[in-house]
Chains A and B, each alone.
Chain A
């Protein structure tokens, strides 16, 4: 398969064209590519591009969804070609953390596990902790593989880890919300961490049969993280009001560039990332979110210093949360814009 195979596939998903995407995949299969190869070398790369376009605010959520829906449907066609493991007992539950809809990475992990002969129970996107624990008991799961793509979901990851390890079941985590060294995963109490779907089967084989409940989080700021997570909607609203109030003059550029709209869309991510950074004990979570906001503002012709003023306003809202406040001023010190 050539290195540019994914671009052809990307064009099809970008057009939301399921039939064409399936045609592209069939062509590679006829040329001898295995379902696993197509998954990692075509679909995964195309979806990475889709994610980039969405993150850069070039694509709307609707566009991203149409494209991802096509890939999910292609993936289920490919998955149906992988023979199921002989013994379906004690499967690994594969799922996304609650309120995450980026099912594709989890779907890929599921297919990688199946193709390695490991039975899988795929729970899909947006599984609540209660639902997950129930399912753990119902299928007598050997382990739970939990995918998390957004740093704002890290507090929920912790809740899921607490709930699942309390049943003695090990938890493997992975996804874009974690750092490559697995430090955040370790702080959150995960049993193990995998950097990619391809490595998930090895990670599952290396898991212990049973684990003790995750130890309580004791690092500085963890409690603040859960408080910010619980209050995120109110904090976001107040932050938005403050940012709007701090700008008294508007020029024509403000009206046509749409940066205000993009900013409103991104504030929940920023507040969520602050909660995630505190719970995972890692300020780079926040720094990455600020850089992302900065990029989006750059693309949308946002006014000079807008990112800095947003972060500064958020800091004033954190007067009762000293660790959060320190973290924000640290990030402010290194912010570009």
Chain B
């Protein structure tokens, strides 16, 4: 069973000038119009999708203000037309943009001035030439003709001194537009134009930002034969969707590299540096597979760039030998990883080294561990231990307790159990970036 829960607002006629024009009646109309303008701005303002904003404009205009409306937007030599008739769906059509000045639409757009044309005297056929000049799509013309309009009002949509579209409005036979009503509709069109222009601009910048940030967003985990990988990633600045924690997994099927790290800072600025560090790790891994050597190379790159900002990281080389996974792990100023044995044991991998990017030292060393079938190695960033709670930070002790009690069969369940406990602990409090990566030797290798 499906229940539709939305209803259209019911309000007064905004285009009928009161008779007699008492101050009370004028005030009532004025406040109804102001309310409509505010409502229109609020509804359309939140949408960053041009098409959806146009739909909302049409839904607001028809039938509350007029009986038929068309919104035309010009883009790359084409006119995108959207129109609706009271009680009908929104129709869409795209037509080639007419030659400059050759139609009412193009004239209104280029001159930035509204035009009111009389299309029918109430007897005989309406003026098809005038209608075609303002409504390019035949289907939309048909729906317009069905209400036998007297007047057709075309108002420009322009912002920053440039006309980029037009709104065409019509009322059911007999009702036209008076000067007072036209003024109100022009004001409405102006405020919608500013919003639509911002929406179109924003869509362009978002696309550019999307392309640029694609490489900075946390990657999808690859499939590694015989191993199962799971991750949890949460940024401090949710609206930026980018953060200073990072993870990456790359290499050959039976010999690969996993890295988890934390760049000093948050948000987009930090993410740019994580992109460079991840790239440096990938390049270094082609030169030498030892995690200690990789960290040394990355450190030298970062120190030579001399930006004075630092990075902590864990780097692991993972190799398959029979039914075991052999791990070499090196740390740079980062909390060591945990081993969760299939039988229930919890161990900490002993490994340490200096943070990356600050000192010209090389004290990185590989610690060797073996994952038997069902064993899991868990890498995580500071954000886990420092996650703020109602009374205290999440802390190491609590993490141990969660890990000891976590189900061991599936690394996804392990990571999710930690993530769940963590989210419950944090609640709605602000937190740092958080990254967790789990590597499991499959319990049932095929």
Contact = CB atoms under 8 A, between A and B. Distances in A.
Interface of A: 16-19, 61-63, 65-66, 68-70, 72-73, 99, 101, 125-126, 128, 130-131, 133-134, 137-138, 140, 166-170, 180-182, 185-186, 189-195, 199, 202-203, 206, 208-213, 230, 233-234, 237
Nearest to B429: A233
Interface in B238-259: 238-239, 241
Contacts of A168: 43-44, 46-47, 49, 52-53, 55-56
Contacts of B55: 168, 209-210
Contacts of A61: 417
B155 to A, nearest CB: 21
Contacts of A209: 52, 55, 90
A167 B48 contact: yes
A2 B66 CA distance: 59
Nearest to A195: B1
Contact of A72 (B4, B407, B412, B419): B412
Contacts of B206: 137-138
A99 B47 contact: no
9 contacts: A62-B406, A70-B409, A128-B238, A168-B43, A168-B47, A181-B3, A192-B4, A206-B4, A209-B90
B410 interface: yes
Closest 9 A/B residue pairs (Cβ): A130-B238, A66-B407, A168-B47, A69-B413, A166-B46, A210-B55, A182-B3, A233-B390, A16-B409
A70 B206 CA distance: 38
Nearest to A234: B390
Contact of B2 (A63, A137, A203): A203
Interface of B: 1-6, 39, 42-44, 46-49, 52-53, 55-56, 59-60, 90, 206, 210, 238-239, 241, 390, 405-407, 409-410, 412-413, 416-417, 419-420, 423-424, 427-428, 444
A86 B2 CA distance: 26
B48 A237 contact: no
Given A191-B5, A206-B4, A212 B43 contact: yes
Given A168-B52, A199-B1, A131 B241 contact: yes
Given A66-B413, A137-B206, A210-B59, A193 B43 contact: no
A193 B5 contact: yes
Q: Which of A126, A185, A191 has the most CB of B within 10 A?
A: A126
Given A186-B3, A186-B5, A140 B49 contact: yes
B446 to A, nearest CB: 9
Contacts of B53: 168
A293 B206 CA distance: 48
A51 B273 CA distance: 44
Contacts of B6: 170, 191-192, 208, 211
Contacts of B1: 180, 182, 195, 199
Contact of B47 (A68, A167, A193, A237): A167
Nearest to A185: B5
Nearest to A68: B413
A193 B444 CA distance: 42
B221 to A, nearest CB: 13
Contacts of A69: 407, 409-410, 412-413, 416
B413 A192 contact: no
Contacts of A182: 1, 3, 5
Contacts of B52: 167-169, 209-210
Given A140-B49, A168-B46, A212-B56, A190 B238 contact: no
Nearest to B389: A233
A72 B413 CA distance: 10
Q: Most B CB atoms within 10 A — which of A194, A203, A210? A: A210
Contact of B48 (A99, A137, A211, A230): A137
A275 B405 CA distance: 30
A70 B5 contact: no
Contacts of A167: 46-49, 52
A252 to B, nearest CB: 27
Contacts of B413: 65-66, 68-69
B210 A138 contact: yes
Contacts of B48: 137, 167
A189 B427 CA distance: 24
B2 A101 contact: no
Nearest to A236: B390
A193 B5 CA distance: 8
Given A131-B238, A233-B427, A193 B412 contact: no
A16 B56 contact: no
A185 B238 contact: no
Given A66-B407, A69-B412, A167-B48, A134 B238 contact: yes
Nearest to B55: A210
B407 A192 contact: no
Given A99-B423, A208-B6, A18 B410 contact: yes
A167 B241 CA distance: 18
A17 B408 CA distance: 12
B180 to A, nearest CB: 26
A210 B409 CA distance: 45
A101 B421 CA distance: 10
A126 B419 CA distance: 10
Given A66-B413, A210-B52, A237 B3 contact: no
A209 to B, nearest CB: 5
Contacts of B407: 16, 62-63, 65-66, 69
B45 to A, nearest CB: 8
Given A69-B410, A101-B423, A185-B3, 5 more contacts: A99-B423, A167-B47, A192-B5, A193-B5, A233-B427
